Amino acid sequence: MAPLLFLGIVLRGKLPDRLTEYVARHPNECEVAERFITLLARAPRCFHRDCFAPGHITGSAWLVSCTGDKVLLTHHLKLGGWFQLGGHADGDTDVLAVAQREGEEESGLAIRPLSTELFDIDIHVIPARKAEPEHLHFDLRFAFTVTDSEAFVVGNESHDLAWVPIADLASVTVERSMLRMAEKWLARDRATLPP
């Protein structure tokens, strides 16, 4: 694969390519993508959870029902709100695989990606807790659906899980990035992101 030149930084691999493709689809999010590229170029351990400065990569699953009208959310044990499923890369640079692993572990469901393209990107603050300082999660999000049953299992990282109608997501959260994903899903190109 040829090296990618992005903002004067030469990087190789799937993730820089995915970020470039993402910016082509969402040019208004270029500044956020630039911060990801800078992290990749300057923080060799950015896929490890102990990289607190400037932060680390996480992978998330926007997991929709078979009919595509509901999303599975977790009432996060540590953060105390409704969020998409996801978690730390723990050294794995294949963020699509990270998102799938975390989605399956947190729900007990078998899931499959609807696309290999990034669905959303977000950088958000995680508050200090115990021995961990306040830090940033550079979250890469992919769209998934279940492969069979929608009967989830609540794991030890959640207070609860719930299938929430995407059109009514604002009834359970005011989190801007969550509402942005709902907007993207509802406005999606059905040729690239079924169902």
Query: In angstroms, how far apart are the furthest CA atoms of the chain?
Result: 47
CATH classification of 58-186 is 1.10.10.60, yes or no? no
Res 147: pLDDT: 95
User: CB–CB of 117/36 below 8 Å?
Assistant: no
Q: Where are the domains of the chain?
A: 1-42, 58-186
CA 143, chain centre distance (Å): 9
Res 46: pLDDT: 96
Nearest to 118 by CA among 192, 174, 191, 176: 192
Q: Say which residues have a Cβ less than 8 Å from residue 189's Cβ, sequence separation at least 6.
A: none
Res 194: pLDDT: 72
Res 14: pLDDT: 86
Strand 135-146 relative to strand 85-88, pairing: unpaired
Report, as ranges of residue numbers, the positions in the chain whose pLDDT lies below 70.
1-13, 78-79, 191
Res 4: pLDDT: 43
Res 76: pLDDT: 77
Res 6: pLDDT: 44
Residues 113-137 as b/e (b if ≥16 CB within 10 A, e otherwise) read: bbeeebbbbbbeebeeeeeeeebbb
